[in-house]
Amino acid sequence: MTSDFAIAVHALVYLNHRQESVSSEQIAENVCTHPVRVRRVLSRLKKAGLVVTREGQNGGYAACCPAADIDLAQVAEALSEVPVSVKYRTGDLDMDCAVASGMAGVMDQIYDRMNAVCRQELAEVTIDQIDQKLFPRTV
């Protein structure tokens, strides 16, 4: 899981909370990062239809659908996030030993299975649920 994902979720929760157009600069201040980073992440969310943008004065990013309709699996998907990813591959396909040539593939399968269950977990969490955690509603 990259930090882009954390920034995306934070921004979505913040935009849902604000319910108006917010500039990358203001979002960056809330997230504590650089405005350019916010733009890079949110432009991908825009492409996925999870936020809308308005340019010109008083423009910025805004929520465009009910927070209950956005789950974290959609956010991960929009960013092509792979929860468990290991770039390092042991062994070497060209070696004679079946262990040396086959282990990387076996590990990939294991990571795949972990990613599948991680995505299931993410699908269970919506932006609205996070909002409820941050702003408990008295019953």
Partner DNA sequence: TCGTACTGTAATAAATATAATTACAGTATA
Partner DNA sequence: TATACTGTAATTATATTTATTACAGTACGA
Q: Which residues pair with 62 in a beta bridge?
A: 52
Nearest of 1, 83, 8, 74 to residue 41 by alpha carbon: 8
Work out whether 61 is an interface residue with a copy of itself (CB under 8 A). no
Pick one of 19, 29, 36, 106: the residue that binds DNA (CB under 7 A). 36
Cβ atoms of 23 and 63 closer than 8 Å:
no
Work out whether 49 is an interface residue with DNA (CB under 7 A). no
Please give the helix or strand (H or E) that residue 118 lies within, else none.
Answer: helix 98-123
Alpha carbon distance 55, 47 (integer Å): 15
Q: What Å distances lie between residue 47 and 27, 102, 111, CA to CA?
A: 18, 38, 27
In the shown chain, the binding pattern of residues 73 to 112 toward a copy of itself, with x for contact by CB under 8 A and - for none, equals: ----------xxxxxxxxxx--x-xxxx-xxx-xx--xx-
Tokens, residue 37 = 């980073």
Pick one of 5, 51, 73, 126: the residue that binds a copy of itself (CB under 8 A). 5
Q: Which residue's CB is nearer to DNA, number 4 or number 77?
A: 4
Residue 63's binding partner among a copy of itself, DNA, none (Cβ under 5 to 8 angstroms by kind) is none
Work out whether 57 is an interface residue with a copy of itself (CB under 8 A). no
Name residues contacting DNA, limited to 84-103 (CB under 7 A). Answer: 87-88
Residues that bind DNA (CB under 7 A): 2-4, 23-25, 33-37, 39-40, 42-43, 46, 53-61, 87-88
